[in-house]
Chain A
Amino acid sequence: MVNGYQATSLKEALKILAKESVTPYSGGTDLMIDPEEHATFLFLARISEMKNIIEDTEYLRIGAACTFTEIIENELVPEILKEAAAQIAAPAIRNLATIGGNICNGSAKGDSALILFATDAKLRLVSSRGERVLPIAEFYLGRKKTALKSDELLVEILIDRINLSNYYYKKVGARDALAISRVSFAAILNVADGKIVNCMTAFGAVSDIIIRRPDIDAMLVGKTTKEAKVVKKEYIAAYDQAIIPIKGRISAEYRKAVCMNLLRDFLESNGI
């Protein structure tokens, strides 16, 4: 085919990527909005190594070329990610759009990327030179800028197999189904033997990069709900400082206010 390669194995795709000037094409729902006339696409949808959803002893491994429909229908996927995926666009977009594309577009508005931040997911990046595993927070460098090298593909997303069932997720958008999120918030809080063992929060679409601050969340870890209430004010103040909405947007203050409300609601829903 002219202006395109359809790879059927990862090895083949990496070889093409190393040699040619091609754009990886997963579901195409970002690329086709405004396709470059001379772009040569490297189609990923038939690479079986990028289509699996499997568990090993450490991780749930999601292939980067899995569509949101496939993620919603898979029984291994945690509810928090399914819920976020189910709220993305409409079925016909979810049948194309992939989780890998949602990350590699580098947007702070990615609804599945938000969940991957909240769960401290890792990304397996592979090139013909070798491979590396990067925490998702290190993958995003700035507005639409990522650490992806031109000869690398995101092959898998690795999610730690910790308990994710006590989660909080809200997307506050202009129009429900089709809206690219305006503000979104995801959090997980686990209590064991009366003490908070982990608290993980992430704020989407409010800044150039999704905001994830484990250092602030650490204020609540190791405490009972009662003790957490004592530091609640301090905790909220820390986020009030940390969330710097994109300047120059009329809605900046609105976005921030929504974030703070969602954070409070999350704490209250956990008795804090």
Chain B
Amino acid sequence: MMINFILNGQKVVSTAKANERLLDILRTEFACTGVKCGCKEGECGACSVIIDGKLVNSCMVAMGYVESCTVMTIEGYRKTERFAVLDTSYASVSAVQCGFCTPGMVLASECILAKNPNPTEAEIREGISGNLCRCTGYNAIVQAISIAAKEGKGLW
């Protein structure tokens, strides 16, 4: 009666009900508090995680859906080389202000670059179109992703 999945590289088992939100369970049962809750309506992207290589809003996912899936949150992504490149590029252009959108934004950045290591500005903007940021006005974030694409040659 348990739900099995891989969270940040480790096999985990959850006792949650299948109709509970992945967002809530990640934060409470697994202490992944880098997954933020901004709306629970699929509108803001603060709750973004990567499931089987694809960016999704964890507030829009019921626990039963992740049975046998691979889930990555910012807590797991932090340990990668790719994260280090994005971390530096975000810092270099001050693309982080309050930081609330940042975990989701970084995971969206990862998915943009994984799909296309040399994205155009339009592709970057499309890739982060579901991630709202109330502070930066987006230009710095778009720039940070372009810089990461250049600096991280070979990583994506």
Contact = CB atoms under 8 A, between A and B. Distances in A.
A190 interface: no
Interface residues of A, number: 32
B62 A35 contact: yes
Interface of B: 1-3, 17-19, 21, 41-43, 45, 48, 51, 54-57, 59-65, 67-68, 108, 111, 126-127, 129-131
B18 to A, nearest CB: 2
A31 B41 CA distance: 11
A125 B19 CA distance: 25
B77 to A, nearest CB: 15
B41 to A, nearest CB: 6
B98 to A, nearest CB: 21
Contacts of B51: 95
Given A29-B60, A32-B59, A92 B67 contact: no
Nearest to B59: A32
B62 A33 contact: no
A91 B127 contact: yes
Interface string A80-99: 00000000011111011000
A41 B130 contact: no
A29 to B, nearest CB: 5
Given A1-B3, A178-B43, A178-B130, A28 B61 contact: yes
Interface of A: 1-6, 25, 27-29, 31-33, 35-37, 39-41, 43, 45-46, 69, 89-93, 95-96, 177-178
A34 to B, nearest CB: 9
17 contacts: A4-B19, A4-B63, A6-B64, A6-B67, A28-B60, A29-B60, A32-B21, A32-B59, A32-B60, A35-B19, A35-B21, A35-B62, A43-B18, A43-B65, A91-B55, A92-B130, A93-B42
A1 B130 contact: no
B102 to A, nearest CB: 16
A91 B65 contact: no
B54 A95 contact: yes
Contact of B62 (A25, A89, A177): A25
A4 B62 contact: yes
Nearest 8 CB-CB pairs, A to B? A4-B18, A90-B130, A4-B64, A95-B54, A3-B17, A1-B18, A3-B19, A90-B129
